[in-house]
Structure 1
Amino acid sequence: MNIKILLAEDDSDFGMILKQYLELEGFEIFWFQNPEDIVCALKSDFNFNIGILDIMMPNIDGFSLAKIILKEKPDFPILFLTAKNQKIDRLTGLKIGADDYISKPCDPEELTLRIKNILKRSVISESITQYKIGTYILDTEKLLLIHPNEKIRLTIRENELLLYLLKFNHKTIKRDDILNNLWETNDYFTGRSLDVFISRLRKYFQHDYEIKIQSLRGIGFEINFPEN
């Protein structure tokens, strides 16, 4: 299977380097320097497996472009490229629904590894596709969290985190264990990313007061889902 990557990068030199390297890794790269062309592609043939979006682009920045894409393709995996180290950039991207980010100039090998990890997470297990969580149903195949009052479209990372937490029902789980197992790294920014995802999951479960994800300062989280 050819992995088709949507690359949005307005810098000619950096874009060419990324394109050539990723093609050597066996990916099929569709490079756009003008984000408006991607918006047009959404209306026709948009069959990419993952998007790599530079945040700082003319006319339409990476965040705005991601919102446009995810509105049409809610489960589309996105990795942001940013030349900044400001945490607001990274957290904003995660709140939009991105799966990961990497700072420029980036190590091509690290970028390739992150792409492969995201794609690996996007392959849903065929053995069990639905889990009952209190008054909710988690459909891992469709990336949906379903409640009688609403349906919530999950990102791949949200789905992965929720599945991981389900393994530790009625137990305490350390922050470091989650970060090392899911993010495969443990630093300030990934820690803040985890907090963003935990906050989102809490909001998703607002219709069932028996579902609790409690923070334990300096330790991690205590997970409590009703037994069914």
Structure 2
Amino acid sequence: MSKKIRIILAEDEPALAQIIKESLETRNFEVILCKDGEEAFDAFKNEKIELVVLDVMMPKKDGFSVAKDIRKLDNKIPIVFLTAKSQTQDVVDGFNFGGNDYLKKPFSMEELIVRIHSLLGRKINLKNDENILIGNYVFNLTKQTLHCSEAIISLTHREAVLLDLLSENKNKIVNRSLILNKIWGNDDFFTGRSMDVFITKLRKKLSLDPNIQIINVRGQGCKLIC
């Protein structure tokens, strides 16, 4: 497995922070999550990281202030701002305080990942926005949706990545350890239990087509049959 990219994510909205963190972790990032500006700056001083993602509006210390303090210690590390602000002056301020990129909410995870890799000088291959047929369903990884007849079913990012991996190996056993390491980052007991929960959720979302099954193969892994 390739070396994980260590980043700081400072975001004070718990739900959004968790979504971003989990999405990045499925793409080979190690995320240090901070709930306010002071915590983010402390993490920066104490951890070896490659990039910083800062929400602008945070308690204790806002993102611009954190960036200003970081730049006193390091003028090279990439900094990405996340904000709901849309005024041109806010964007200008972001760059003036040392930011390298600026993403306005709401944004897609694919866009954030592309920008991060661009700042790090790395290439990333993203799938085209194409539809994949799974039985009577049409699966779109980019949009994280399943269509069946008139039904449109939304998937979480991790559900979509898991289904994509299973569909790439349709009717073949996918090793359990491979799934856990690729999507969760390790294959310990707790991530194994989490994977079982996600498999159960996918079974329910695919239940409109009785010919589709996700089966567990004891001691090996699981298989998408359709």
Residues 152, 186 of structure 1: CA spacing in aligned structure 2 closer, same or farther, 3 A cutoff?
A: same
User: Whole-Å Cα distance in 2 between the matches of residues 201 and 182 of structure 1?
Assistant: 15
Name the structure 2 match of 1:148.
Answer: 149
Deviations 1:39-63 (A, max 9, x none): xxxxx9489xxxxxxxxxxxxxxxx
Provide structure 2 residue ranges, at least 5 long, that are not aligned to the other structure: 1-7, 15-33, 61-82, 87-105, 110-115, 118-123
Deviations 1:1-31 (A, max 9, x none): xx9852247xxx9745432136983322346
- Pair 1:194 & 2:215 matched: no
Name the structure 2 match of 1:221.
Answer: 222
Task: Give SS of 1:151's match.
Answer: strand
CA contact (8 A) 1:214 1:222 kept: yes
CA contact (8 A) 2:214 2:222 kept: yes
Report matched runs for 1:9-20 at 5 Å. Answer: 15-20=36-41
- When structure 1 is superposed on structure 2, of 175-184 and 197-206 the one drifting more is 175-184
- Residue type at the aligned position of 1:19: A
Task: Give SS of 2:161's match.
Answer: helix
User: Whole-Å Cα distance in 2 between the matches of residues 178 and 125 of structure 1?
Assistant: 19
Deviation at 1:76, TM superposition (A): 7.6
- When structure 1 is superposed on structure 2, of 16-25 and 197-206 the one drifting more is 16-25
Deviation at 1:181, TM superposition (A): 1.8
TM-score (norm. length: structure 2): 0.52
Name the structure 1 match of 2:55.
Answer: 29
Deviations 1:71-104 (A, max 9, x none): xx8x987xxxxxxxxxxxxxxxxxxxxxxxxxxx
User: Whole-Å Cα distance in 2 between the matches of residues 145 and 46 of structure 1?
Assistant: 32
- Pair 1:137 & 2:138 matched: yes
How many matched pairs? 142
Name the structure 1 match of 2:167.
Answer: 166
Provide structure 1 residue ranges, at least 5 long, that are not aligned to the other structure: 35-43, 48-72, 78-115, 118-122
Greater radius of gyration (CA): 2
* Percent identity (aligned): 27
Name the structure 1 match of 2:12.
Answer: 7
| RMSD, aligned α-carbons | 3.6
TM-score (norm. length: structure 1): 0.51
Residues 33, 26 of structure 1: CA spacing in aligned structure 2 closer, same or farther, 3 A cutoff?
A: closer
